[in-house]
Amino acid sequence: MRFLTAGESHGQKLVGIIEGLPSGMKISKDRIDEALRQRQQGPGRGGRMAIEQDEVHLVSGVRGGVSTGAPIALEILNRDWENWEKVMAWGKEADLESRKVMTPRPGHADLTGALKYHTEVRNILERASARETAMRVAIGSIARQGLSALGVEIKGHVLAVGGVHAEYVDEDAYWQRVKQSEWSVGDPVAEQQMGERLMVARSEGESLGGLLEVQVHHLPAGLGSHVQWDRKLDGKLAQAVLSVQAMKGISFGLGFDMGDRMGSKVHDPIYYCQGQGFKRRTNHAGGIEGGMSNGEPIILQTVMKPIPTLYQPLETVHLKTKEVVKASVERSDVCAVPAALVVLEHVVAWVIAEAVLEKFPADSFLELQTAWEAYIGNLLTMEF
Ligand SMILES: Cc1cc2nc3c(=O)[nH]c(=O)nc-3n(C[C@H](O)[C@H](O)[C@H](O)COP(=O)(O)O)c2cc1C
Ligand SMILES: C=C(O[C@@H]1CC(C(=O)O)=C[C@@H](OP(=O)(O)O)[C@H]1O)C(=O)O
């Protein structure tokens, strides 16, 4: 299974194509649209999110809400396009000289992209923008729906925003708060402090990042493989997570704390339970050993850097005149941690779905489900 996306932040639309999805899988457009709606939320979002009302158009490969096995083409329109048509001048001959962006913003692809592609900054920023993640969420939602039908669930948590860390112990209470609160961290004190931190950042022309966690539940042992570097599940998840704009690190389970502990305080003792098969007493590994899922929940954490466009811009250099000037700022989010969480859940869903299809290649969903159930049954009774 593979996918490709295209589209600029202020172009007409985002497009995507998925190939290799089995036939006979239920695809709910409403679930995709709900994920797109969630990705637009969060108290730190800027003016753009008031303009967009993201909705997916399923163009091919789905009939009557069920996949046909043919490539699935998707589109998401940019409502902002009508305000940018002249600037973008797509497919037209136009004088773009006056529309050049010549003051690259630190923290963005702007300068390096301009050097690498030998072009002004707009040609870089349009595609580097996280607007592209709307399509990755739509595509990931299809993967997530397939996983859900197999009983696999993905949950995301915001762990920290701008240095304010959330505490939560009770999963039920957490999900209750997630439904109620715009920060959705499950810790009312932290939510208030995050709101205050955001107000300060906004008033000072600053921006915020944070820490996020994604968990994958009810996966069997054996997805991914130890035999080749590019088949390792943790490696694939790392690639997908770090490909999301502004993500700068990833860890699994105990993560970087592992480096401070003795081995016996890190590795997860194995036991056997009749009817449940091989289990672990702890899950410090975060559900992956040797590049394979080990049957425990996959738990990964990532760090999002603060949004790079600052309303009090940093210094930069004008590409033509080489003068020291302030970096350009048109409009920006101040904090996009809650939105990024939705993106992360969906890029993780894609990688897991790909790993499922690598282990159980199938042309129809029934074929996949049959192989999946047989394998899980076998894991519980396997003799050596
Ligand atoms: C959901 C989301 C929204 C974002 N919104 C903005 C934004 O409004 N302004 C901005 O400067 N960067 C924003 N970013 C981050 C930049 O796109 C990103 O930092 C930039 O493309 C450089 O890539 P890198 O940080 O991965 O190196 C956003 C990122 C995400 C995930
Ligand atoms: C458009 C989205 O996010 C954008 C991501 C982004 C960036 O530089 O990454 C910059 C901003 O774009 P604009 O300048 O048009 O306001 C965000 O709004 C989106 O998430 O759908």
Cβ–ligand 2 contact at 197 (below 6 Å) = no
Give the CATH number of the domain where residue 150 resides.
3.60.150.10
- What's the CA gap between 18 and 3, in Å, rounded? 4
**DSSP secondary structure of 151-183:** T-EEEEEEEEETTEEP----HHHHHHHHHH-SS
Identify the CA nearest to 131 among candidates 183, 73, 84. Answer: 84
- What's the CA gap between 1 and 361, in Å, rounded? 10
Cβ–ligand 2 contact at 116 (below 6 Å) = no
Residue of 38, 129, 341 to mutate, ligand 1, most atoms within 8 A of C-beta: 129
Identify the CA nearest to 11 among candidates 77, 100, 95, 55. Answer: 77
Domains identified in the chain, total number: 1
Tell me, yes or no, if the pTM score tops 0.95: yes
pLDDT of residue 91: 67
pLDDT in tens, the chain (384 residues): 999 999 999 999 999 999 999 999 999 999 999 999 999 999 999 999 999 999 999 999 999 999 999 999 999 999 999 999 888 887 677 777 878 999 999 999 999 999 999 999 999 999 999 999 999 999 999 999 999 999 999 999 999 999 999 987 677 777 777 777 777 788 889 999 999 999 999 999 999 999 999 999 999 999 999 999 999 999 999 999 999 999 999 999 999 999 999 999 999 999 999 989 999 999 999 999 999 999 999 999 999 999 999 999 999 999 999 999 999 888 999 999 999 999 999 999 999 999 999 999 999 999 999 999 999 999 999 999
Cβ–ligand 2 contact at 48 (below 6 Å) = yes
pLDDT of residue 86: 84
Cβ–ligand 2 contact at 129 (below 6 Å) = yes
pLDDT of residue 93: 72
Identify the CA nearest to 213 among candidates 344, 44, 353, 339. Answer: 344
Whether 307 has a binding-site annotation, put simply, is: yes
Name the E strands within the chain.
Answer: 2-6, 13-19, 56-60, 62-63, 66-67, 72-77, 153-161, 164-165, 210-217, 247-252, 270-273, 277-280, 288-289, 292-293, 298-304, 315-317, 324-326
By alpha-carbon position, which residue is closest to atom 4 of ligand 2?
A: 131
pLDDT of residue 169: 64
- By CB atoms closer than 10 A (0-12, 13-18, 19+), residue 274 is exposed
pLDDT of residue 176: 75
Atom of ligand 1 nearest to the CA of 125: 21
Domain extent, residue 216, equals 2-381
Cβ–ligand 1 contact at 332 (below 6 Å) = yes
Given the cut 0.85, state whether the ipTM is greater than it.
yes
